[in-house]
Amino acid sequence: MVFTLKKQIMENNRDGFSGKFGVIAAAAGSAIGLGNIWRFPYILGENGGAAFLLVYLLFIFVMGVPVMLSEFVIGRKAQSNIIGAFKKTAPGKPWYIIGIMGIGAAFMILSFYSVVAGWTLEYAFLALKNNFAGKDIVEIKTIYDNLTAGSWNSVIIMILFLAITALIVSFGIQKGIERYSKILMPMLFIIIVLLCIRSITLAGASDGLNFLFKPDFGKLTTNAILQALGQAFFSLSLGMGVMATYGSYIKKSESLGKTAISVSLTDTCIAVLAGVAIFPAVFAFGIEQGEGPGLVFVTLPAIFNQMFGGYFFAVSFFILLIIAALTSAISLLEVVVAYFSEELKLNRIAATWIATGATIMPAIICAKYGAVFNFFDKTSSNVLLPLGGLLIVIFAGWFMGLNKVRKELEADGRPARYFKVFIFIIRFLAPIAIALVFLNSLGLMNAGNF
Ligand code: TRP
């Protein structure tokens, strides 16, 4: 009794999510980002469509959900930031290095992510001012090239984006992150559904839907399979402590298993909806689907131009991107802020602005130098995240103690019937699959050779 009371007081001292919807909105807000709306469609476009989608779905549910669950378990058990979490659950052992890598990855991802988020802000302004009107795809490409070639404009707008992110994070978990996620995520959902309706009612939309949903397995290369797993991890925000940090804010009465499934389902739905919003339009207007990173920044404005109601849809689309980017950047910043405030004993507001200040320099360098941007993008997504994910599942599966894991999964009072499958995945399947992607991304394996 006394013990429970003490535990409750300890829990209540820490800021946290108020309830189910808040947790899901915030965690889905982290997961749903530029990865879903900007990266997923172009990677899918480059890898042949529906067959890639199927493999991606498989990875999300067989790998992604268990890894997310492992992060939740580690975070909620420790009630701590990502470095503190490993120091608490494995005192005196070097596991906290995973946390250090996570903080490093957070800075790196936040730096280049804010740059892309800045572009989306700029595009929303351009769309609002109706600047794309009358321009053909070549002219729009010039706008994109100028913006992304390190203009000061892109630096200023990136700083503006970071400042908005920091402001929300400085308000705390319940009054900042949760409150804004609860407003922004439903908005995002409405906008994307509207865009989908517009897209599938275009004449010639069915080719785009076929591309998305009719698999041609001949197009599935080994490299595509590995990319699908990498994308699944990136999209679910796994491997660097975002979900562990958010897990530490989830009440013991919530089911972690259900939360992981809901977040993954929501994230996947939005990625598929982004595909449905984009590909029918791409096909209807006869544009190359393997366009690459310029897909949403060059191809889409050109399409909006030719479309009835294009102004409205262009503005909506770029607002959608800003929202998606914002709730993800918030989660990245939160990983660092939780660490600064808990381990370095700074107050939240100071921690937020120091972390943001420390991100500005590398972010400016990313905005100005494409090579640094690419280096940060590749190192974090291809090295730090898979390595982090690998170590996290190994920690949860082999070192944390199965009893503790089970207790945390069942803390809401319901039996975790999936426990055996979960343990099998995090002990064997996930480490092997992640190791394969990791080796591939390091270039140690020739994708054609196995
Ligand atoms: N998941 C986000 C997206 O899809 C990006 C993101 C946020 C992320 N936090 C992360 C990716 C942590 C990896 C790790 O855009």
Q: Where are the alpha helices (DSSP H) in 369-450?
A: 370-378, 385-394, 402-409, 419-424, 430-441
User: Which residues are CB-neighbours of 327 under 8 A, at least 6 positions away?
Assistant: 26, 29, 30, 32, 33, 180, 181, 184, 185
Distance 235 CA to ligand 1 centre (A): 6
In the block, tokens 């170590």 appear at: 391
Distance 271 CA to ligand 1 centre (A): 13
Q: Report whether residue 388 contacts ligand 1, using a CB cutoff of 6 Å.
A: no
Q: Report whether residue 246 contacts ligand 1, using a CB cutoff of 6 Å.
A: no
Distance 267 CA to ligand 1 centre (A): 11
HSE-up (13 A, CA, CB side) for residue 143: 21
Domain locations in the chain?
A: 21-247+255-441
The secondary structure of residue 448, as a DSSP letter, is G
Q: Which atom of ligand 1 is nearest to the CA of 325?
A: 15
Q: Which atom of ligand 1 is nearest to the CA of 31?
A: 1
How many whole angstroms separate alpha carbon 261 and alpha carbon 188?
20
Q: Report whether residue 36 contacts ligand 1, using a CB cutoff of 6 Å.
A: yes
- 291, 333, 318: which is closest to 34 by C-alpha? 318
Q: Does residue 126 sit in helix, strand or coil?
A: helix
Q: Report whether residue 231 contacts ligand 1, using a CB cutoff of 6 Å.
A: no
How many whole angstroms separate alpha carbon 392 and alpha carbon 214?
35
Q: Report whether residue 35 contacts ligand 1, using a CB cutoff of 6 Å.
A: yes
Q: Whole-model pTM?
A: 0.91
- Is domain 21-247+255-441 classified as CATH 1.10.10.60? no
- Which of 37, 42, 109, 233 has most ligand 1 atoms within 8 Å of CB, for mutation? 109
- Which of 235, 322, 376 has most ligand 1 atoms within 8 Å of CB, for mutation? 235
Contact 106, 240 (CB under 8 A): yes
- Which of 39, 165, 231, 331 has most ligand 1 atoms within 8 Å of CB, for mutation? 331
Going residue by residue through the chain, which has 450 residues, state the pLDDT in tens, using 9 for 90 and above: 444 444 444 445 789 999 889 999 999 999 999 999 988 998 898 888 999 999 999 999 999 999 999 999 999 999 999 999 999 999 999 999 999 999 999 999 999 999 999 999 999 999 999 999 999 888 998 999 999 898 899 999 999 999 999 999 999 999 999 999 999 999 999 999 998 998 899 888 999 999 999 988 888 888 888 888 889 989 999 999 999 999 999 999 999 999 999 999 999 999 999 999 999 988 888 877 777 778 889 888 888 888 888 899 899 999 999 999 999 999 999 999 999 999 999 999 999 999 999 999 999 999 999 999 999 988 888 788 889 999 999 999 999 999 999 999 999 999 999 999 999 999 999 999 888 877 876 765 544 333
Distance 206 CA to ligand 1 centre (A): 31
Residue whose Cα lies nearest atom 11 of ligand 1: it is: 237
Q: Report whether residue 328 contacts ligand 1, using a CB cutoff of 6 Å.
A: yes
**Helices (H) then strands (E): counts for the chain:** 23, 0
